[in-house]
Amino acid sequence: MKRFCWMAIAGSLMVSPGARAQKPPLLPEKDVAALANELSGETAKRNLEGIARFHRQRGSEGFHAAAELVADRLRAYGLSDVAILQFPADGKIFYGTQRSRPAWNAEKGELTEINIMPPVCNNGTVENKSLNPKNTLNSTICIDLGERKIASYEAEPVVLAEDSESADLTAELIDVAEGTKESDYAGKDVKGKLVLVSAQPGAVQELAVGKFGAAGIVSYAQNQRTAWSGDDQNLIRWGHLETFSPNKTLAFMVSLKTARAMKDQFAKNQPISLNAVVKAGQHPGNYEVVTATIPGADAKLKDEEIGFSCHLDHQRPGANDNASGCATILEVARTLQELVNEKKLERPARTIRFIFPPEIEGTLALLNAKPSHVAFKCEADPQKVEQTCASSDPPFDAGASLAKRIKAVVHMDMVGGGPETKAVFHVTRGPMSLPSFVHDVAWSFAEWVNEESYKFAATGKADFPMIAPEGGKEPLRAEYSAYTMGSDHDVYQDSSFGIPAIYLNDWPDRYIHTNFDSAANIDPTKLKRAAFIGAASGYFLAGMGDGSLHAIYHLLRMRTFRTADEIHHKREQISDACEGGEVERFEMEQVRPMVESVKRLAPDTKEMRWLTIGKVAATLDNNSEGRCLKTMVIVGGNPIFKRKLEPKGPLVAFGYDYFEDKAKAAGIATPRLMSYEGLWGSGEEYAYEVLNFADGKRNTQQIRDAVSAEYGPVPLEVVVEYPKALEKIDIVEEVK
């Protein structure tokens, strides 16, 4: 999981100990009871422990082993169409906006400090090199204190930065502070030496190696900023080099404690010499995506799909991020299949698909795949230990129609953090460019779990406490949060796909991306509750029809209250809001498409007359109290832009920045929007939404007003500059 500026709108409803029990939302109580009874946090955690054993880098042996484990469990659970799809990744093939990254494997990585001091002998003297080593009589026994191992890939794979290259070198270590500025290297000769830096290896690679000739990097980059950052000096952060950098090198990651010990030596004028041995590198390989289905029962709807998604790749152990998400949807798959087999749940009308890809890049490969991208369907051969992968005839086309078949996605990325992680569980809405009732479906179940789990924690009694025998008893306290970027949900909800995605996630997590993100910190109760929210949401959407619309209407009414309230609170933070000038009723721009989103899963129903925009809008009008956002001063013209059909996907993918690459080749300066800091968002989020809003209907002022309501006021000229740059690299076209 990547992380950016966090925005959360809390919506948990706590109940008093004596409050009357609330009925479950949306689904019949018998269905809820069946799910709650069958879902097992312990089973999910056992699978998590299996996944967390592997160092799961893209295209690596560790990832393949994890993929095989997941596929094996899916087969054992009786799912259909179980396959490991393979999409070539060689650094040249593009999947939409993702330039495929070559596979990366590592066999060895050791960093050793040498020449600490001469060997000490049992008589207290320094070893006499002239002694005859064959003379065992009266021989002196010496202990070699001349070296100290600092990092070992075999022991902790996280110590070797991803995309490191093979090398065997001995060099002096030079401290260059952060290492991201030329001034950090002033007066220091680092050519042929190793540099100690506080930044991520990829951030210093071009300067340290490319410009100043360093032989490698030792980084003590700290973890993502939370209240606990720096408290534990033993954490080792997951490190990355730039995949496509021409300055190939090696990089090791060390703890803050190790780095401070090194700095103490420097302060005493004691030089440090290190031996680095690495056997690793990039090579043409494949993105592997595990997938399986529970086929739908309705002849007309079975070709429509509800997806469950996670990302399987990560460093070892990577327990919460993101073995937790994958183990939880694996448990959802087991539970739904089991209950359907036992006829405790009706087979859903739509097909439910489970997807386990590498983060973001694997999802982009899957949704963009065409027959020219040969995909392989891999199945276990009971007669062989190895797995058999054969090209389909015609090629197994996983993606060309999949993006059209999937109507909604439940995405899980970090859903099991126990008390030690300090995690808060979030049900995250989609971006304002894609309003949808789907997110409220998930929140209705999460809010109910909040109520039941709090009641149990406060009184010891509840109808559905959702407790795992080996887990905790704390209330869930899930929050309904505004859109935040950083995982595969960005891909699904990008305007080129427009698939609403329920995003279940933990934040903060003080151990994210470190060697301490271990299974010991995962709570089975949390896994069970996340599994229930996801399973109930996905199952409801998979079976949604005419009879669901009365409940959906209630959800939309509640959403309008929240939308109006959110806009109101945001407006209060803008000092000049609603004081003269034109008024943009952005609330209605959210409500109308949100109501229309119901048609995605109920397009022809006669009951849609019951769900009218007018009825829902009236709720907003009665509660908005004239809330608004002032339209900013118009600067220049207001052209209209429309996104082109290709390439598909967000422009900032994973390990590759499409805009940066193409803009550099075209000599285009970086637009100011990319580094703009708003009240509730930053550059990448503004850019993501500006492109999403470029639908050929809104002019740039309307787009500016929309992103201002979402992330905070931004000057019109800053917004206009971005689509004009996108036009030069053929992402959008101006509508005349």
Q: Say how far apart CA 474 and CA 476 lie, in whole Å.
A: 6
Q: How do residues 545-599 score in pLDDT, each as one tens digit?
A: 877 777 888 788 777 777 767 766 776 666 544 433 333 445 556 667 777 788 8
The mean per-residue pLDDT over the stretch 129-152 comes to 61
Q: Residue 730, Cβ neighbours under 10 Å: how many? A: 12
The mean per-residue pLDDT over the stretch 260-289 comes to 97
Check residue 281 and give its pLDDT: 97
Check residue 125 and give its pLDDT: 53
Q: How do residues 9-21 score in pLDDT, each as one tens digit?
A: 334 334 444 445 5
Residue 690's φ and ψ, nearest 5 degrees, are -60, -45
Q: What separation in angstroms does the CA of 484 have from each of 2, 429, 480, 573? A: 10, 8, 12, 20
Q: Check whether 493 has a pLDDT greater than 90.
A: yes
Q: Report which of 511, 519, 624, 621 is spatially closest to residue 565, judged by C-alpha positions.
A: 624
Check residue 617 and give its pLDDT: 52
The mean per-residue pLDDT over the stretch 702-716 comes to 91
Place of tokens 């109920």: 602
Q: What is the mean pLDDT of the chain?
A: 86
Residue type, 83: A
First to last CA, the chain: 40
Instruction: Indicate the pLDDT class of residue 483, thresholds 50, 70 and 90.
Output: very high
Instruction: Indicate the pLDDT class of residue 144, thresholds 50, 70 and 90.
Output: low
Q: Report which of 386, 323, 292 is spatially closest to residue 75, judged by C-alpha positions.
A: 292
Q: Residue 371, Cβ neighbours under 10 Å: how many? A: 13
The contacts found for 117-123 with CB under 8 angstroms, 24 or more apart, are: 117/145, 117/146, 118/145, 118/146, 119/143, 119/144, 119/145, 119/146, 120/145
Would you kindly state where each structural domain of the chain is located, as residue ranges? 29-99+286-544, 103-116+140-283, 574-735
Q: Residue 18, Cβ neighbours under 10 Å: how many? A: 8
Judge if the upstream peptide bond of residue 286 is cis by omega within 30 degrees of 0.
Answer: no
Tokens for 133? 């080593």
Which secondary-structure segment (H or E) carries 541? helix 524-543
Q: How do residues 77-98 score in pLDDT, each as one tens digit?
A: 999 999 999 999 999 999 999 9
Q: Check whether 25 has a pLDDT greater than 60.
A: yes
The mean per-residue pLDDT over the stretch 455-468 comes to 97
The mean per-residue pLDDT over the stretch 142-152 comes to 79
- Between 377 and 304, whose confidence is greater? 304
Which secondary-structure segment (H or E) carries 104? strand 103-114
Q: Residue 735, Cβ neighbours under 10 Å: how many? A: 13
Q: How do residues 209-252 score in pLDDT, each as one tens digit?
A: 999 999 999 999 998 889 998 899 999 999 999 999 999 999 99
Q: What single string gives the DSSP state of each residue in 237-271?
A: B--B--TT-SS---EEE--HHHHHHHHHHHHTT--
Check residue 636 and give its pLDDT: 46
The mean per-residue pLDDT over the stretch 274-283 comes to 98
DSSP state of 564: H
Top-confidence range, 222-231, 403-412, 537-546, 604-613? 403-412
Check residue 374 and give its pLDDT: 53
What residue spans of 280-430 are helical by DSSP H? 325-341, 361-368, 402-405
Could you tell me which CATH number the domain at 103-116+140-283 has? 3.50.30.30
Q: Say how far apart CA 645 and CA 662 lie, in whole Å.
A: 17
Q: What single string gives the DSSP state of each residue in 177-230?
A: TT-SSGGGGTT---TTSEEEESS-HHHHHIIIIIIT--SEEEE-PPPSP-TTTT
Residue type, 160: L
Place of tokens 């070539």: 88
**Residue 648, CB half-sphere, CA atoms under 13 Å: how many?**
22
Q: Which of 282-286, 598-602, 695-699 has the lowest mean pLDDT?
A: 598-602
The domain 29-99+286-544 having CATH identifier 3.40.630.10: the answer here is: yes
The mean per-residue pLDDT over the stretch 689-718 comes to 93
Q: Helix 325-341 to helix 41-51 angle, to the nearest 10 degrees?
A: 130
Q: What single string gives the DSSP state of each residue in 17-75?
A: TTPPPPPPSSS-HHHHHHHHHH--HHHHHHHHHHHTTS-B-TTSHHHHHHHHHHHHHHH
Contact 491, 434 (CB under 8 A): no
Q: Check whether 4 has a pLDDT greater than 60.
A: no
Check residue 477 and give its pLDDT: 97
The mean per-residue pLDDT over the stretch 729-736 comes to 95
Contact 79, 294 (CB under 8 A): yes
Check residue 397 and give its pLDDT: 55
Q: Check whether 64 has a pLDDT greater than 80.
A: yes
Check residue 616 and give its pLDDT: 52
3-class secondary-structure state, position 699: strand
3-class secondary-structure state, position 113: strand
Instruction: Indicate the pLDDT class of residue 377, thresholds 50, 70 and 90.
Output: low
Tokens for 729? 């690299």
Q: Say how far apart CA 426 and CA 478 lie, in whole Å.
A: 5
Q: How do residues 384-410 score in pLDDT, each as one tens digit?
A: 333 445 444 444 555 558 999 999 999
Residue 520's φ and ψ, nearest 5 degrees, are -60, -25
Q: What single string gives the DSSP state of each residue in 649-693?
A: S-SB-SS-BHHHHHHHHHTPPPPGGGG-B-SS-BHHHHHHHHHHH
